[in-house]
Amino acid sequence: PMKLRVGEMEKTFKEGISPVMGKPLTWHLPKGIYKRFTVLAGLQAGLGDKGRVEFTILGDGKPLGTITLNGTDPAHAFECDIAHVSSLQLATTGRGLDPKSNYAVWAEPVLRK
């Protein structure tokens, strides 16, 4: 199960993705259908405690949001405008000294019309 720190608590998520560092996840979207994209980004509670990861959301190759989180930081909620985006990417880059602890998680991704 995927677990993230949300505020002061740990929460288990049923919907989410744990990608390979440096390998962006890409979705092709029909233009003009979706307006917003929301997702929680963080490091797996417990396994990722010593990690440090930069999370980036790209729309048509342009940054829509980015944040670097340490392993014990709470998850970050992204909300991005994707009204004119046809290619949505979720990218992770290891930024810490212990790459074995970079257990990145994108949880509860939602496309909204």
pLDDT tens per residue across span 30-88 = 988 999 999 999 999 988 889 999 999 999 999 999 999 998 999 999 999 999 999 99
Interval 15-26: pLDDT, tens: 888 888 888 999
Q: How far apart are the C-alpha atoms of 105 and 107, rounded to whole Å? A: 6
d(CA 82, CA 64) in angstroms, rounded, equals 9
Q: What is the pTM of this model?
A: 0.92
DSSP 8-state secondary structure symbol assigned to residue 113: -
